[in-house]
Every structure is written in C-alpha cells, then in structure tokens.
C-alpha cells in the first residue's frame, strides 16, 4: 500500500537496503527518511486539493444550471397563469361534462344489455317450445308410419292372397271346362232348353254381412245359386276333386289375368262370384241342335257365333296364358280345397 503522501499510480520509491551506518549515519538516515515522507505527503495533499477544487467547480456549475432552469420554468408558469386566469375552471367543467356523457352512455348500454338479455330469454323459450313440438310431431309421424307400414303389409298380404285365389280359380275353371268337355254325355243330364236356365240372370248376393274373398269363394264352391244348376255344380265339384287329386306342378301367373280383368277383379272383391248360365254351342254343321252344356265359371264370357272349336279357344285364352307362366306358390297351412 503506498504511503499517505504518495500519489496514486506513481511508481513507488526505491527502498534502501543498505545497512545503517554506525553513529551519525543513523541520525542522517532518519532525517532523510522523514524529509522524504514529508515531501510525499505534501504532494498527495496538493493532488487532493486540486481534485476537490475541480469537483467543487463542476458542482457549482450544475447548481447554477439547475437554478436557471427552475427560474425559467417559474417564469413560464407565471406567464401562463397570467394569460389564462379561467383555464382551471373551464377544464374542470369540461371534465365534468365528459364524465356525465360517459355515465349516460353507460346507462344506455346497460339498458340495451338488459333488453338483449330479455330477448335472448324469449328466444330460448321459443326454441324449447319448438323442440317439444318437433319431438311430438316426430313421435306422431313415427306412430303413423308404423301404422301405415302395418296396414301396407296387411294389404300386400291380402293382395297376394287374392292373386293366388284368382289364379287358383282360373286353374279350376280351366280344369272343369276340360273335364266337362271330355265327359261328353255326362253333362247332357241338364236339359239345354230349361226355361229356368234360359231365363236365369246373375244377381248380387242378398246377405249384407261383411265377407272376405275366402268366404265368398267357399260359398260359391259349396252350394249353387239356383236349384236347376245342382247337376252342373255336382259335375264341377267332382272335376275339382279329380283335379286336386292330381299332382300340381305349376301355378298360373295371375299378372296377365289381373291386367286383362282389372275391372272384373274389383267386382270380384266387392261382390260374390256369380254363376254363369249354360252357353249354347253347335256341335257340327247339319247335325241338328243338341242339348247345351252347362258350365260353372267365375269370369265373364261373351257369346260367339263361331264354331265350338273357336268358342273354346276364345274362352280358354286367358286361362291358358295364366297356366303357362310360372309354378304354383304353396303357402304352409293353406287349404287349396277351400
């Protein structure tokens, strides 16, 4: 560490390593050392005084500058206060007015917010009501759809049953016609000139009870509508039994028959099947008239003046088309003999 009188940063003084002399040499060395220390202290003190003087000079300059700035600011403030004596009051009034405007805007926004909340509650209530209505309508629609589907399935089953019944009756008619034509003289037991058969006309049923196609078919095949047609009905029943004893390989397609007899099918559904009176036909040219053959049928026929062979072809045209289409559809548990 340098001595107090030595300047900071100055090179240190050389040390004397000589051995102190004896006698007066010791006194002179001590005096020299003290003088050196005194000079060093004086130099250090002078350096410190100069540094302090420069520091004080800078501080005084800064103080004067700040004082001048403060004086300038005070002068400007005095000038502004003297030029605008009512500025504070006007600014306070402006602030109060702006505050009142902001309060009014806040109240308006609060009212608008409350109105929007009220409308939102109304919309939510309407949405809830509409959702309930939609659920009820959907439930009702599903119930109606279920009922309609069930009804449609029933109608489809009934339509299929009616189509099967029509095809079955057509095949029965065709078989009975063939059997009656092949039996020949067996059908002569019924006189062709009977006034009852000649004057008989089909009539609608007298009973008013609700009937199904199956019940009507049972009644039409179980008993004749006229007492004069008992023999004809008996022959038709026997031919039907003979036909049912034979193996059935194919079922007629009811589509052509239904298309050709659309109006007749509606009549068949609403009314009971009618028995057609016997139709007169010539057996040959010049051979004389023979007794007519009585036929039991469920379809409408048209009289033709053509020979018997042409008559037979016209009458059995639809039945042949039906029989040549597709196989018999047998449902388990269904009695074809009715």
User: Tens digit of pLDDT for each residue in 277-334?
Assistant: 444 444 444 444 444 444 444 444 444 444 444 444 434 444 444 444 444 444 444 4
| Closest by CA position to 301, among listed 331, 324, 279 | 279
Higher pLDDT, 48 or 184: 48
20-74 pLDDT, tens digit per residue, is 444 567 788 888 888 999 999 999 999 999 999 999 999 999 999 999 999 999 9
In this predicted structure, the answer to whether residue 175 has a pLDDT above a threshold of 60 is yes
- Report how far residue 11's alpha carbon sits from residue 16's, in angstroms, rounded to the nearest whole number: 15
Number of Cβ atoms within 10 Å of the Cβ of 257: 23
CA 217 to centroid of chain Cα atoms: 47
Contact by Cβ (8 Å): 41, 4: yes
Q: Residue 81 — pLDDT band, cuts 50, 70, 90?
A: confident
Whether 5 is in a domain gets the answer no
Alpha carbons 71 and 56: distance in angstroms, whole number: 22
Q: Give domain status of residue 228, yes or no.
A: yes
Domain membership of residue 223 (yes or no) is yes
Q: State the pTM of this model.
A: 0.27
Q: Rounded to whole angstroms, how far apart are CA atoms 222 and 220?
A: 6
Mean pLDDT, the chain, as a whole number?
Answer: 67
Q: Tell me if 123 is assigned to some domain.
A: no
> How many CA within 13 A on the CB side of residue 267?
12
Write down the pLDDT at residue 26. 76
- Of all residues in the chain, the percent with pLDDT exceeding 90 is 34
> Is residue 275 situated within a structural domain?
yes
Residue 109 counted as domain residue = no
**Ranges of H-type helices in the chain:** 24-83, 87-183, 195-199, 213-222, 230-245, 254-260, 262-270, 308-315, 317-323
pLDDT of 95: 87
Residue 125 belongs to some domain of the structure: no
The most confident of 24-28, 137-141, 211-215, 278-282, by mean pLDDT: 137-141
Which 3 state secondary structure label does DSSP give 279?
strand
For residue 220, the model assigns a pLDDT of: 57
Name the residue range of residue 254's domain: 162-323
d(CA 205, CA 320): 30
- With respect to residue 287, please indicate whether it lies within any of the assigned structural domains: yes
Q: What domain count does the chain have?
A: 1
């Amino acid at each position: 560490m340098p001595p107090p009188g030595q300047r900071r940063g100055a090179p240190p003084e050389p040390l004397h390593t000589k051995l102190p002399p004896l006698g007066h040499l010791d006194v002179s060395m001590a005096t020299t050392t003290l003088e050196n220390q005194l000079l060093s202290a004086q130099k250090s003190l002078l350096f410190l005084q100069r540094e302090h003087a420069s520091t004080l000079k800078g501080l005084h300059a800064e103080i004067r500058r700040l004082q001048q700035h403060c004086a300038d600011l005070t002068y400007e403030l005095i000038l502004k206060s003297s030029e605008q004596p009512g500025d504070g009051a006007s600014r306070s009034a402006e602030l109060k007015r702006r505050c009142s405007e902001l309060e009014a805007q806040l109240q308006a926004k609060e009212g608008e917010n409350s109105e929007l909340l009220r409308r939102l509650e109304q919309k939510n209530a309407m949405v809830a009501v509409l959702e309930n209505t939609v659920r009820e309508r959907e439930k009702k629609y599903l119930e109606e759809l279920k009922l309609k589907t069930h009804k449609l399935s029933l109608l489809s089953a009934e339509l299929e049953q009616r189509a099967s019944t029509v095809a079955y009756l057509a095949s029965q008619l065709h078989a009975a016609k063939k059997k009656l034509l092949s039996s020949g003289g067996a059908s002569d037991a019924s006189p062709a000139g009977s006034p009852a058969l000649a004057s008989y006309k089909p009539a609608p049923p007298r009973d008013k009870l609700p009937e199904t196609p199956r019940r009507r078919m049972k009644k039409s095949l179980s008993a004749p509508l006229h007492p004069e047609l008992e023999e004809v009905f008996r022959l038709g029943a026997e031919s039907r039994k003979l036909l049912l004893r034979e193996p059935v390989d194919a079922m007629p397609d009811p589509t052509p028959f239904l298309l050709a007899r659309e109006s007749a099918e509606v009549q068949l559904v609403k009314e009971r099947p009618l028995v057609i009176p016997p139709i007169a036909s010539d057996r040959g040219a010049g051979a004389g008239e023979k007794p007519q053959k009585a036929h039991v049928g469920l379809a409408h026929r048209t009289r033709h003046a053509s020979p018997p062979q042409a008559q037979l072809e016209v009458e059995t045209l639809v039945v042949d088309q039906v029989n040549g289409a597709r196989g018999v559809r047998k449902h388990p548990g269904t009695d074809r003999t009715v």
